[in-house]
A and B are shown apart, each in its own frame.
Chain A
Amino acid sequence: MRSRHRRITAAALAAVAVLGLPACSTVLGEQESLADATSLTVGVKTDQPGLGLEDENGDITGFDVDVALYIADRLGVSAEDVEFTGVTSANREQKLIEGDVDMVVATYSITPARKTQVTFGGPYYVAKQDVLVRAEDSGIRGVHDLEGLRVCQGEGSNSAARITEGLGISVRKTEAPSYSACIEDLREGRVDAVSTDNLILAGFLAEDPSSFHLVDEPFTDEKYGVGLPRGDIRGCEAVNDAISRMYQSGRAGELLDTWFGEAELKLVKSVPQFEGCV
C-alpha cells in the first residue's frame, strides 16, 4: 500500500515537473538584455572625423560616441561605466555576435541582409550618399557631373557601385585603403571626387573647410542603426525610446550642430523612421 501511494505522489510530482518545465524554462532562461545593463562596451569607428575618431591619447570622440553616451544614460548607465572600443566595417558583426561589444554605434547602415545577423535599434540618423570635391571644382553640382571622372572609395565600400550600377553613371573608380586616404588623394589631385555618406564627408570637411566643397545633392538613404545582439528586442525598444527622447529634447539637434554644423549640409533634426525591433 505504501509503495502505491508513493507511486501516485511520484507520478503527480513528475506530471507537475514535466508540464511545468517548458513554461518554466522561459522564465529561467530569460534573455539577457541591454535594457538591464549596468555597464556597456560600445563599438565605434576610430578613423572617421566627426563620427568616431581616436586622438593621440587614445580618446575616441564624435557624433556616434555622443549618441552612444546619450543612449547609455537613458538606459541608466553613467558615462564612466561606458567603455568605447574601435570596430571596423569588416569586424562589426563578428564583435557583436561574439559578445566583445554590447552595442555598435559605428556608421552602421541597416540593410535587410545585416538584419539576419543583428538586431538594429534606430536608425538614429539617416545619412545620404553625397559627393565631396575640391573647393575650386565648383563645376560639379551633382552626381551626374561625375561622368568620366575619378571617384575614390574606401576599401570594402560599395559607394562607387551605387553611382555606376545604381544610377548608371560611368565613373572611373579608384580605391584607397580608407576614406582618410581618399581625402588625401582628393587634396593632392589624384582623384576628382570622394563619394560616401554625407555625415562622413561633412566630418572630413569640418577638419579642413577651405580645401573641400560638399555638393549636397544626396542620392541614397543610409540608415545608421544601433547594432545589438540579435534577438534583444527589449534592448532594441529601450534604444528606440532613448533615440526618440534625444530628438524630442533637442539634444540630437545640438549634437548634429556640434559635429557637422560647419558643413553646408541640410541636417535633419527630427526623429527618423525606426526600423522596428522584430
Chain B
Amino acid sequence: MPVKNKTDPVSSKEYKEEFERLASDSYERLYRSALYFTGNIEDASDIVQDTFITAYRSFNNYRGDSKFYTWLYGIFRNLLFRHRKSRKSYINRFGSLEEGLISDDLPAVKETPENLLTGKEKIIRLYESLNKLPMIYKEILILRHFENFSYNDIAGILGCRTGTVKSRIHKARNLLRKQMEQ
C-alpha cells in the first residue's frame, strides 16, 4: 500500500514507516541482482543505495497498483544503465560462467533423445546461445527467468503492453532454441 496521504512531507513518520516496510522486503533481492549485474560489492552497494534514494524521493508517486519490487526494479534498471555507462554492461553481465555460478552438481536437465547433453553441457551451450541473441530478447529472458517477473510486471517495467511481452518472450525462446540447434 502506498502512503495514504499524498500531501505528507517526505520526512514524515508515516512516509518513512510505509517506505521502510515495503523496502525492507525488497532489499536483499535487489542487492543480489545488483551484485549479479555489476560484478562487485562496491558498485552493487552504490547502485542499491541510489535506487532506494530515488525510490524514497519518488515514493509519493507510487500508487500501489503494481508490486513494490516491480516499481523499484524499474528505477534500478534505469540507474543500472546509467551507472555502467552502457546498457551492454548490464545485459552482458548476466549468466557469467567465469564466476562459478554453475556447479557440477546441478540436477540433469531433461534432454530430447537426439541431444543427449548433460545438464552442465546444456547450460553452457545455452549461455553461449543466449549471448548471441539481440539485446531486446536477452533482456526479456533475464526479466522472466532471472527476476521471475510475471508478464504484467515485465510490461510495467518495459513500458509496453502485456501482449507485446508475450510475443517477445515467445520469440526470444524460439530464437534461443534455434540458436542452440546450430
A and B held together in a complex: no
Chain B interface residues (CB < 8 Å from chain A) = none
Chain A interface residues (CB < 8 Å from chain B) = none
